Structure 1
Amino acid sequence: MAMSEAHHTGGCLCGAIRYRARGAPVSVNVCYCSQCRRQTGAPMPAFASFSDEQFELLSGAPATYRSSSSAVRQFCATCGSSLFWRRDGARELDIFLGTMDRPGDVPPPSFQLWTAHRVPWLPAIQGATDYRGDKAGSQS
């Protein structure tokens, strides 16, 4: 099946929240920022981004937490699974790759964000563009 026809399903640990994303992701990335690390408990959370038109929430209602002045994070209020990240005003949703049923079906990350905060023992991902901050150049 071509990536443009692919269906990516996933959900939280307890199964209360399920989703589907259709087609190829807009992008795939890894983020090393302290907020992503703290939310997930992992040193390098990865995301697949899909446009709003590609995404469908199948069941459940994620809880929302405003983690900064420009973005919200969504998670399962029952089991705590980190699910989604969205920049204010964006027409796409970043899905935590670890919540996908088959995360290996999406392409490898094409970029890495906040590499200035990467844990020193983690190697850079070959072939992925490094951004010391976010893609807009912010390093705060």
Structure 2
Amino acid sequence: MTQIHTGGCQCGAVRYRAEGELGFPHLCHCRMCQKAAGNYFMPLGGVMYENFKLTRGEPAWFQSSETVRRGFCEKCGTPLFYDGSSDHISITLGSLDDPQSVKPEVQTNLAHKMPWFGTLDSLHHDAKMDMTPQEEETISASSNQHPDHNTEVWPRGNGDAEGRS
């Protein structure tokens, strides 16, 4: 059975579908990916162009170098794609509806990896800062974040009372 991966941006304006295994799932630590993600690394996995399609909206593109353009949602800013002008497009793994379904297998550009990154699991956990179930429910009830599945209509209130199909 062919794997189907769906995903999109935080606001739901851009959605996509990828068929098959996502190749070369990795964490890139290069400075350009750090800046594009606004994070310490960018998780990416590739799919052949013929197995990829946009199912809602169109991304905006930023030409980050001569050979690379990066797709993102123009409305909410979510980084979505890395297009390196080859036979595939790379998808940001965090934009998948089920991000835990694709485990990175390798890291790249370790010269730019944060030197303290390996110590993150030893950081103190402040449980007082965790959301309670009631806080999560309150936030969820008013959230403008697209749910982790395809919808016929989004945002809420456009004929789809709960924003789900």
Secondary structure, counterpart of 1:36 in structure 2? helix
* 1:100 corresponding residue in structure 2: 96
Deviations 1:41-98 (A, max 9, x none): 111210111111211110111001100111100101110000000112x110110011
Describe the SS at the equivalent of 2:117. coil
What is aligned with 2:71? Answer: 74
Matched, 1:120 2:107: no
Q: CA RMSD for the aligned pairs?
A: 1.4
Structure with greater helix share of residues = 2
With structure 1 as the length reference, what TM-score do the two structures score?
Answer: 0.81
Q: Which runs of no fewer than 5 residues in structure 2 stay unpaired?
A: 119-165
Larger Rg: 2
As a proportion of its length, which structure holds more strand?
1
User: How many angstroms apart in 1 are the aligned matches of 2:7 and 2:56?
Assistant: 11
What letter corresponds to residue 87 of structure 2 in structure 1? Answer: R
- So what's the TM-score if we normalise by structure 2? 0.69
Alignment deviations for residues 83-127 of structure 1 (CA, whole Å, 9 cap, x no partner) = 000112x11011001100001112x2222111100001113xxxx
1:109 maps to a residue whose letter is P
Gaps of 5+ in 1: 124-140
Say which of 2, 14, 21 aligns to 1:17: 14
How many residues of Structure 1 are paired with residues of Structure 2 in the alignment? Answer: 119
AA matched with 1:67: S
What is the aligned partner in structure 2 of residue 42 from structure 1? 39
Percent identity, aligned pairs only, is 37
Q: SS of 1:10's equivalent?
A: strand
Cα distance in structure 2, aligned partners of 1:19 and 1:70: 23
Contact kept in structure 2, 1:63 and 1:76, CA below 8 Å: yes
Moved over 2 A (4+): none
What letter is aligned with 1:120? Answer: P
SS in 1 for 2:10: coil
